Amino acid sequence: MGNLFILSAPSGTGKSTVASKLLERLEGLRRVITATTREPRPGERDGVDYYFMKKDDFERGIRGGYFLEWAEVYGNYYGTPREQVDKNIKEGYDSLLVIDVQGAFKVKEIMPRSVGIFLLPPSMEELKRRMKRRGYSDKNTSLRLETAKKEIPCAPNFDYIVVNDFIDHAVDQIRSIIISLRCKKENALEDLRISSAVSKDILELMEGGGCYGKKT
């Protein structure tokens, strides 16, 4: 059974870049591609960065229960297709869901075992610089900074907090979080039962043998 990891951060923090590098460096992890009604940015590809949908199609998806969660952000719809998460879990892959804070809380309510990771900018001034480099207008930057001031206080409600001061450092920290959870006994035992990582006699001893060091 795969795990669901939620990566959330204020706009401009760099969560998409961190997610892309993480997927390159960690096997067994699939990104859940979000659907949106906003227009593609330069270089973005449908089905790779987002599923770009017409507003009418998105609203039909809402009514039909197509989305695990959805929200309206900056005048556009964003949503998580439920079938992607279900497919990954059944196939034993971990899922990486990159969404805003509002969506993260909705997913956590529906799937309480999911793991929330909040990505912080090192400073508000650096966050502003990153937004400017993206080409946001002054008005758009101001709006996003005000939203960030409301989202950052939500960080303590997540399972993990990582500062994106240097991208490679942030990626390594999140990679370590995922690997450590894979080795947690509940997850490791489930994986060992369906894999060939250890022989049958080792598995039988581990699950049925008496632990000599433990007092009864």
User: What total of structural domains would you count in the chain?
Assistant: 1
What is the pLDDT, as a whole number, of residue 190? Answer: 76
Which of 13-22, 137-146, 204-213 has the highest average model confidence (pLDDT)? 13-22
User: For 106, phi and psi rounded to 5 degrees?
Assistant: -65, -45
pTM given for the model: 0.84
Alpha-carbon span 15 to 49, nearest angstrom:
13
Q: Which two structure tokens, joined as six digits, stand for 23?
A: 């997927």
Q: Is 79 left (phi over 0), alpha (psi -120 to 50) or beta?
A: beta
Alpha-carbon span 81 to 65, nearest angstrom:
9
Q: pLDDT grade, residue 118 (50/70/90)? A: very high
Range of the domain at 40: 4-208
Q: Is 198 helix (H, G, I), strand (E, B) or coil?
A: coil
In a domain, 168, yes or no: yes
In a domain, 213, yes or no: no
pLDDT at residue 91 is higher than 60:
yes
pLDDT at residue 216 is higher than 60:
no
pLDDT at residue 62 is higher than 90:
yes
Q: What is the mean pLDDT of residues 82-86?
A: 92
In a domain, 26, yes or no: yes
Q: Which CATH number do you get for residue 43? A: 3.40.50.300
Length of the chain: 216
What is the pLDDT, as a whole number, of residue 89? Answer: 86
What is the pLDDT, as a whole number, of residue 158? Answer: 97
In a domain, 143, yes or no: yes
In a domain, 100, yes or no: yes
C-alpha torsion sign, points 111, 157, 35, 46: negative
pLDDT digits (tens, 9 = 90+) for 120-145: 999 999 999 999 888 888 888 999 99
Q: pLDDT grade, residue 183 (50/70/90)? A: confident
pLDDT digits (tens, 9 = 90+) for 187-198: 777 777 777 778
Contact (Cβ atoms closer than 8 angstroms) between residue 200 and residue 211 = no
